[in-house]
Chains A and B, each alone.
Chain A
Amino acid sequence: MTRLASALDDLRTLDSLASRDTILAHRDPRAKLATTLAFIVTVASFDRYRVGALLPLALYPIALAALGDIPSRLLLRALWLASPFAVLVGIFNPLLDRATMLSLAGVELSAGWVSFTAILLRFALTASAALVLVASTGMQPLCAALTRLGVPRVFTVQLLFLYRYLFVLAGEASRMATARSLRAGDHSRMSPTVYASLLGHLLLRAFERARRVHGAMLARGFDGELRHADSWRWRRSDSLFTAGWGAFFAWVRIVDLPAAIGALLAGAAR
C-alpha cells in the first residue's frame, strides 16, 4: 500500500474516533485546545537535561486517551511513524555531548544520551497530545473553537474545505498511484516524467472539481460568506477541566515528582 493510502487510512480512523459520543466529546473544544497548548508549552519549558521531571506529564495524554476511548495502539503507531525525524535530529546529542552525567550501577551515561532521551520523550508527549486532541474533538468543532478564539474566518474555512476534500483528492491520487504501480512492472519507482504527468493530471482534476464545487455553491445561493451554526456553550465543567489540568501542569513544572518518590523510597529503604 502506498504511503499516501496508509496516511489516508490513519486519517479516516482518527476522524471516525472523533465523531463518537464520549465524555471528552462533550467538553467545549476551546477547553481541550487550551489545555493541549498549555501542555505543549509546559513540556517545552523544561531544560534539555530533564527527563524524570517530565514523566508525570504523561498522565495527560494517557488519561485523555482513556477517557476518549482512543486505542493506545493507534497512538503508538502514529508516534512510531513520526519518530524517525526526532531520532534523526536528536541523535547528534549523544555524539557531541560526551560529559558523564549519570552513573548507574557502574554504567556511565553521558549528558548527550540524557538530552537525547529527553528529546524523544518530549516528542512522544507533544505528538500524542496533539493526536488525542483531534481524536477526541474532530476538525469541525476545532475550527469552530478557533474561530471563536479570534482566528481569521478565511483560515478556518480553508481548514474545513481542505479537510473535506483531502479524502476525495488524496483518494484519487492514491488510486492513480496504485494503478500506475500495477502497470509499472520492473520500474517500481516512479520516474520524474511519469510523476510530472500524474501530478499534472491530479492538478487539473483539482481545478475542475473546485470549479464544480463552486457551481454547486452558487446553485444554492452562495454569496461569498459561509454561515456556520456554532452550538458550543462554555460550561462550569469546562472551567474545571482547564483549571484542573493547568494546575497539574504547573505543579509538575515546579515539583520533580520522580526525584521526590525516589528519595522517599531511598529513605524508607534505609
Chain B
Amino acid sequence: MHMADALLSPTTGIAMWVASGAVLAVASRHVGAREDDRLVPLMGMLGAFVFAAQMINFTIPATGSSGHLCGGLLLAILLGPHAAFVVIASVLTVQALCFADGGLLALGANMFNLGVLPCFVAYPLIYRPLAGAAPSNLRLALAAIVAAMLGLQLGALGVVLQTTLSGISSLPTKTFLILMLPIHLAIGVVEGLATTALLLFLRRTRPDLLGGTAGSPTGAAASIRPLLASLALAALFTGGVLSWFASTQPDGLEWSVAHAAGIEPHAPITPPAPVAWPDVNAGTSLTGVVGGIVTLALVMAVGSALRRRRATTARSTP
C-alpha cells in the first residue's frame, strides 16, 4: 500500500527522503560501476513493464477479489538488488508526479517501504538463502512466496510506523496493525505466486535471461548482506528516532513564534490524541469558518482572473 502525503508530518517525510536518498545514491553508484551498457535500456523497459503490470488485475479464485503484481521481488531477482531499487524508485516517482499516487513528500517513505525492503532485505536475506544456487521449480516458488510475504509485511509495518510517528491519522497503532498486517500477508502470497509464475515462464521460454541478469554471484552477495542489513536497519532507526523526537516536542516554528510573541506554546501532541485541544482557536468558531469561505472565494477569483487574462493574451497574439 502506498503511503500518502496527507498522512505524513514533514519530519517523518523528510527523514524517509534522507534514508531512501542515501540508498538511491549507493545503488546508483553500484549500477554505474557494473559497466554493463545493456542495463540502461533494460532497466527502463522493465520499469515500464512493472508499471503496466501493476495496472492489470486478475481475479483470485474463490475470493472474487482482484490482485496484481507489485514487482519488487521480481526485479531484484532479474536485475540484482541495486538496479532493481533504482527501477522501483523511478516507477514510484512517475506515479507520484503524474498520478497523484502517494505524493511527493511520501515518495521517500514509499521508496523505502516498497523498494529498500524488498530489494535489500527480502531478496538477499530471505529469497537467496531459501532458493539457493539452482532451485527446483517448487523450491523457487516457496522461496518467492515466503520472501514476498515477509517483504510486504515489513512494508506494511513501515507504513504503520510512519503514520503513527506523523500523528495525522487518529487510527491507533494497534488497530492499524491489525488491519494492515493480515491483508498484506494475503497480498504477499499473491505477489509470491505471481512472481513465481513469471519466473517459471521465463525458465521455460528464455532461461538465458535468468542466468545473466540475476544479479551478483554468491561470493559478492555474502559480503553485501551484512552491509545491506545494517544499512536498512540504520535507515529505519534514523527515521524512527528523528520522527519520534520531532513529534514529542512542540512544532519548532510555532514554538519559536509563540515564544517571541510572549504566548505560551501549545502543549505537545502525543499521537494519537483522542481529545481535541481545548484552546485551539483557528477555524473552530463560526468566524473562522466564514473567513475560510471568503478566503476560498478570493483564491478562486484570483485564479479565474488569471485564466481570463491568459485567454485574452492568447487571443490577441496572432
Contacts and interface: CB of A to CB of B under 8 A. Distances in A.
Contacts of B168: 48, 115, 118-119, 122
Contacts, number: 381
Contact of B13 (A44, A49, A223): A44
A243 interface: no
Contacts of A130: 96-97, 100, 103-104
Interface in A53-87: 53, 55-56, 58-59, 62-63, 65-67, 69, 78-79, 81-82, 85-86
B56 A45 contact: no
B99 A162 contact: no
A2 B100 CA distance: 19
B172 interface: yes
Nearest to A119: B6
A65 B303 contact: yes
A106 to B, nearest CB: 11
Contacts of B288: 52, 256, 258-259, 262
A97 B97 contact: no
A85 B48 contact: no
Interface in A153-208: 153-155, 157-166, 168-170, 173-174, 177, 189-192, 194-200, 202-204, 206-207
A62 B303 contact: yes
Nearest to A117: B283
B53 A202 contact: yes
Interface size class of B (residues with CB under 8 A): 35 or more
Contact of A3 (B24, B25, B55, B274): B55
B262 to A, nearest CB: 15
A111 B282 contact: no
18 contacts: A7-B99, A41-B105, A44-B9, A56-B295, A69-B314, A90-B6, A93-B171, A99-B274, A123-B6, A126-B103, A153-B32, A169-B45, A189-B58, A204-B205, A211-B41, A214-B42, A217-B40, A261-B295
Closest 9 pairs between A and B when the two form their complex, measured CB to CB? A161-B44, A262-B291, A262-B287, A52-B283, A258-B291, A152-B28, A200-B201, A66-B306, A195-B58
Interface of B: 2, 4-10, 13-14, 24-25, 28-29, 31-32, 35, 37-38, 40-49, 51-53, 55-61, 66, 69, 86-87, 89-91, 93-94, 96-101, 103-105, 163, 167-172, 175, 193-194, 197-198, 201-202, 205-206, 209, 251, 253, 257, 269, 272-277, 280-296, 299-300, 302-304, 306-307, 310, 314
Interface of A: 2-4, 7, 10-11, 14, 22-23, 36-37, 40-41, 43-45, 47-53, 55-56, 58-59, 62-63, 65-67, 69, 78-79, 81-82, 85-86, 89-90, 92-93, 96-97, 99-102, 104-105, 111-112, 114-115, 118-120, 122-123, 126-131, 133-134, 142, 152-155, 157-166, 168-170, 173-174, 177, 189-192, 194-200, 202-204, 206-207, 209-211, 213-214, 217-218, 222-224, 226, 253-254, 256-266
